[in-house]
Chains A and B, each alone.
Chain A
Amino acid sequence: MDTALRRLEFWSGVRDESPILLGVVPFGMIFGALAVTSGLSTAAAQAMSSIVFAGSAQFIAAQLLGADASGIVILMVVFVVNLRHALYSASVAPHVEDLRPGWKLMLAYLLTDEAYAVTITHYDSRGEARARHWYFLGAGLTLWTSWQLSTAVGIFIGAQVPRSWPLGFVLPITFIALVVPGLKDGAGVAAAVIAGVLGLAAAGLPYKTGIIVAALVGILVGMLVEGRKQ
């Protein structure tokens, strides 16, 4: 495989991940600021962003650590909050099946919501498919780097983002931009609509469990609709 193709894929991943950073960077800054206020040392706050590297779970873990919750409780919460990543893992698995173990582990480490959303859209598109793990790497490293830097800014300067800037809205909007064009048939639309409605209905469930329940039912509905047509 030629270097030019790898380089093209890598930088395409970097480019496509970039818009989402508008929403991720303020989130990282708020995490850094909040982690220090909850009583974590600057070293621990910064280290958590690379050791755990999962936005929502980090927020909850930092608050629980600050409240002197027991380690077991924190681990159980982190497990539940991050369980949706198992779905991402299953979803990208067939695409990375033939990679070397080192590659698989590195990409697994980088498998966040934001990297997944961008990467799976690329995997599901047509065209040259030999070097798409480089795209995954580019998208994943872009998110990783900005997460580390924004955490540091939050720790040392604080989160100076005015509340009236609705930057958190960038995330759902970017996911819309990635998901909607991929809805090619009734089964896909059914899966998305059911999961979306259930996700809203179950939004009150603790620790993001509503996302998993909604997604699983959505997947099931998609399969049923697809099965009926055959």
Chain B
Amino acid sequence: MSLWLTMVLAGLLTFAIRASFIVLLGRFAVPDWFRRALRFVPAAVLSAIIVPGLFDRAGAMDFSVRNPQIWAGILAIAVAWRTKNVLLTIAAGMVALLALQLIMG
């Protein structure tokens, strides 16, 4: 398979996955449990990306207490919970990380 053909097929495949339910919903009767499940999709998928991301330092998992990302992440969760402010949460998390990196080395 040529490089360009592979790339175009990979693009079509990705697009098909993303379009799947957007196109199909409304054409079929969707069971009630499915609609109930959708409410949990953002929290579940994004949490499954967030938590490993907090431990991942430049491609390697760091489970030590000296990993500043874990503490910055916990602080960001607290700020997000209290303030519900997106920019403030990002700023708090990043500033905390940079400060902890300086302190912890």
Binding site for B on A (CB under 8 A): 16, 19, 40, 44, 47-48, 51-54, 57, 61, 65, 70-72, 74-75, 78-79, 82-94, 96-97, 101, 104-105, 107-109, 111, 113, 116-117, 120-121, 124, 163-164, 166, 168-183, 187-188, 191-200, 203, 210-211, 214-216, 218-220, 222-223, 226
The proximity string for B residues 56-93 relative to A, scoring 1 for CB distances below 8 Å and 0 otherwise, is 11100100000001001100110011001111011001
Q: Given contacts A71-B6, A72-B1, is CB(A211)–CB(B49) below 8 Å?
A: yes
Cross-interface CB contact of A183 among B23, B37, B43, cutoff 8 Å: B43
Chain A residues positioned under 8 Å from B52 (CB to CB): 199-200, 203, 210
Cross-interface CB contact of A163 among B37, B58, B80, cutoff 8 Å: B58
Find out whether the CB atom of A172 lies under 8 angstroms from the CB atom of B4.
Answer: no
Q: What's the least CB distance linking A163 to chain B, in Å?
A: 6
Given contacts A75-B10, A169-B93, 19 further A-B contacts (CB under 8 A): A53-B11, A79-B13, A86-B17, A89-B21, A90-B38, A101-B23, A104-B22, A117-B42, A168-B53, A172-B54, A173-B76, A173-B90, A173-B93, A176-B50, A177-B80, A179-B50, A180-B80, A199-B47, A219-B41
Which of B13, B15, B43, B72 gathers the greatest number of chain A CB atoms within 10 Å? B43
Q: How many residues of B contact A (CB 8 A)?
A: 69
Find out whether the CB atom of A170 lies under 8 angstroms from the CB atom of B41.
Answer: no
| Cα–Cα, bound, A223→B44 (Å) | 11
Find out whether the CB atom of B43 lies under 8 angstroms from the CB atom of A93.
Answer: no
Chain A residues positioned under 8 Å from B4 (CB to CB): 44
Chain B residues positioned under 8 Å from A104 (CB to CB): 19, 22-23
Find out whether the CB atom of B80 lies under 8 angstroms from the CB atom of A87.
Answer: no
Please classify the interface of chain A as helix (H, G, I), strand (E, B), loop, or mixed, using the class held by over half of its residues: helix
Cross-interface CB contact of A196 among B18, B21, B48, B94, cutoff 8 Å: B48
Find out whether the CB atom of A181 lies under 8 angstroms from the CB atom of B54.
Answer: no
Find out whether the CB atom of B11 lies under 8 angstroms from the CB atom of A82.
Answer: no
Nearest B residue to A19 by beta-carbon distance? Answer: B90
Nearest B residue to A193 by beta-carbon distance? Answer: B47
Nearest A residue to B54 by beta-carbon distance? Answer: A172
Find out whether the CB atom of A82 lies under 8 angstroms from the CB atom of B13.
Answer: yes
B25 at the interface (CB under 8 A from A): yes
B5 at the interface (CB under 8 A from A): yes
Chain A residues positioned under 8 Å from B61 (CB to CB): 203
CB-defined A-B contacts under 8 Å, sample of 23: A71-B1, A71-B9, A75-B6, A82-B18, A88-B41, A94-B25, A108-B15, A163-B58, A166-B57, A168-B58, A169-B94, A172-B53, A180-B89, A183-B43, A196-B51, A203-B56, A210-B52, A214-B44, A216-B44, A219-B37, A219-B44, A222-B39, A223-B37
